[in-house]
Structure 1
Amino acid sequence: MLTSLLPGFRHVRTPFAVGALCAFQAWMLFGGWIPCKGEAQGLTKRMYVIGELLGRPIVTATIAFALYLLGDMLKLSARQVAGRINKAKPSMRTALLTRDSYRELHLYAESLRARAGDSFDLMTAMTALIREFPEVRMRLIANNLDVYSEQDRFDSEADFRVNLAAYSVTLWIILATLWSPWFLFGISASAILYLNGFRALRAANGVIMQSLVSGIVESHVYAEGGHHPHSHP
């Protein structure tokens, strides 16, 4: 039962953590403007009354749901962040893979040479294969659910860490502004989280690469004999 619940929990924790971080920062900046119960008037007073009527459990559940919705709107995708980096600096594309996975990708793309002919471009084929990773990931659901679960675990870890890193930077700046500049040292912790997030993303991509090499799932680029890469000059 716990095993079946874990994938769902992984997908909930990132937006909830982002929402909680953002709400906490907003409270530190603007919490002094919120009147206490005895001073509340108008809409704020009605909110206090509704809270008393509903009770703490329902109020807590409502706040948690609101934090989740807020975080779901603000969360970042580690893959999208990596994609933007790749657009800005295409030479950094191989950073999405470990050395072993990149070597396997190179050998896998090399096997397309016999199909593609003399006009084959190895780097273009490798780029097309990396672009296909999200599609390959979804095909794993039908081909091998256990492998997909392992890949999804790394992918969720990447999103979680990258989002905590991104939104904790502003937290350290606010704490440094309101209390002590020493809090700026927390940015180093955010940087470590950011790097760990990309390590998890590389691990997730490594699972995809292994599934291609082992034949668990087939690449459309490979199946088309290298013709698809030429559509992405």
Structure 2
Amino acid sequence: MLASLLPGFRDVRSALVAGYMWFGAGWLLIGHYGRPPAGLLARPAVELLELFGTGGRLAAISVLCLLIGEVTGSVVAGVFGRLSQTYLHRLTAADLDHLPGGPLAVFRPVSGRTVERMRGRIRQEHRQRQEELISDATPRGINPHEVDRIALDAVREVLHVSPRLIVAKPELFAEYSRFKAESEFRDAILLPLPVLAVAVCVNLTAPAWLEALVIAAVLLADGYLFAQSRKRFRQAHSLIGHSVADGTISSAAMSD
């Protein structure tokens, strides 16, 4: 029962937590800097919330937070996904031996070990295809340029072939989904976490140096979460790449 609920919980966890963080930060900041004479909310809004009752207010706030978190989390995930695609499209065949570094390397979606295993699979299939098609009188050998071209296309497909794993091996897809959900959760709270820290600090009666220390610690934690998010994202898609290398799922580039 609990196992069947976990995937659904993962779908809303990131957006809901991020939304609550945005809501809490906004409430604190508006209350600190922009409190109107009648209070944080106008009287009609207060009366409407009182009409809902405690349960209704919690439900309305939760739905609002879910929507806010869904929007902001989707924006962050979309930007990071686009950067990962940009990294892959900038790869050349010469980069497959040692994946390049640089700022975009943070968004590298697969490990070097995964790329090497995929190349090995393609090299093996290329050799088998030659043995089937080439006659004994024709010199045999592996065309490294062709192998690297196919490997490059296959690596670029890693971000898009995960649905094939649902049918081929559901337990592997569950593992992929877990890694991906952990990455998305960290991505979703990257922005609201420092904003919430600032909102809390401006409402504290503490020395400025202590507030600065708290914000610095939160920023360090945010950087750590970002690194962990990219690691989980890479683990998720490396699992897809290993599945392609094992032959569990097929790649259009390797099938051509």
Does the pair score TM above 0.5?
Answer: yes
Count matched residues: 221
Q: Which residue of 1 aligns with 2:60?
A: 62
Say if 1:97 and 1:206, in contact at 8 Å, map to a contact too: yes
Say if 2:115 and 2:155, in contact at 8 Å, map to a contact too: no
Q: Does 1:188 align with 2:220?
A: yes
| Structure 2 CA distance for aligned equivalents of residues 86 and 218 of structure 1 | 20
| Structure 2 CA distance for aligned equivalents of residues 168 and 67 of structure 1 | 14
Q: Give the match's secondary structure for 2:159.
A: helix
Say if 2:190 and 2:222, in contact at 8 Å, map to a contact too: yes
**How far 1:78 moved relative to its partner?**
4.6
| Structure 2 CA distance for aligned equivalents of residues 80 and 206 of structure 1 | 20
**How far 1:148 moved relative to its partner?**
1.1
**How far 1:40 moved relative to its partner?**
5.7
| Structure 1 CA distance for aligned equivalents of residues 148 and 219 of structure 2 | 36
Say if 2:84 and 2:109, in contact at 8 Å, map to a contact too: no
Amino acid at match of 1:211: S
Q: Which residue of 2 aligns with 1:3?
A: 3
| Structure 2 CA distance for aligned equivalents of residues 65 and 51 of structure 1 | 14
| Structure 2 CA distance for aligned equivalents of residues 84 and 147 of structure 1 | 25
| Structure 1 CA distance for aligned equivalents of residues 154 and 164 of structure 2 | 14
Query: What do residues 131-161 of structure 1 show as CA deviations (whole Å, max 9, x unaligned)?
Result: 3223320112222222211111101111111
Query: What do residues 24-49 of structure 1 show as CA deviations (whole Å, max 9, x unaligned)?
Result: 2212221243558xx369x8212221
Q: Which residue of 2 aligns with 1:209?
A: 241
| Structure 2 CA distance for aligned equivalents of residues 101 and 79 of structure 1 | 24
**How far 1:79 moved relative to its partner?**
7.1
| Structure 2 CA distance for aligned equivalents of residues 133 and 79 of structure 1 | 16
Match of 1:157 among 154, 172, 182: 182
| Correspondence list, 1:74-223, <5 A | 74-76=72-74, 78=77, 80-84=79-83, 87=86, 90=91, 91-92=100-101, 95-111=108-124, 113-114=126-127, 118=143, 120-174=145-199, 180-182=211-213, 183-223=215-255
Q: Which residue of 2 aligns with 1:227?
A: none
Say if 2:15 and 2:67, in contact at 8 Å, map to a contact too: yes
Q: Give the match's secondary structure for 2:247.
A: coil
**How far 1:125 moved relative to its partner?**
3.2
| Structure 1 CA distance for aligned equivalents of residues 156 and 184 of structure 2 | 18
Using a 3 Å threshold, how does the CA distance of structure 1 residues 119 and 216 change in structure 2: closer, same or farther?
closer
For structure 2, the 5+ residue unaligned runs are 92-99, 131-141
| Comparing 84-93 and 65-74, the one that deviates more | 84-93
- When the two chains are superposed, the root-mean-square deviation of aligned CA atoms in Å is 3.1
Using a 3 Å threshold, how does the CA distance of structure 1 residues 142 and 22 change in structure 2: closer, same or farther?
same
| Structure 2 CA distance for aligned equivalents of residues 125 and 175 of structure 1 | 52
Say if 1:78 and 1:198, in contact at 8 Å, map to a contact too: no
Query: What do residues 188-227 of structure 1 show as CA deviations (whole Å, max 9, x unaligned)?
Result: 1111111111111122112212322232211111111xxx
Using a 3 Å threshold, how does the CA distance of structure 1 residues 45 and 173 change in structure 2: closer, same or farther?
closer
Normalising by structure 2, we get a TM-score of 0.73
Percent identity, aligned pairs only, is 21
Q: Which residue of 2 aligns with 1:230?
A: none
| Comparing 176-185 and 12-21, the one that deviates more | 176-185
**How far 1:121 moved relative to its partner?**
4.8
| Structure 2 CA distance for aligned equivalents of residues 75 and 167 of structure 1 | 10
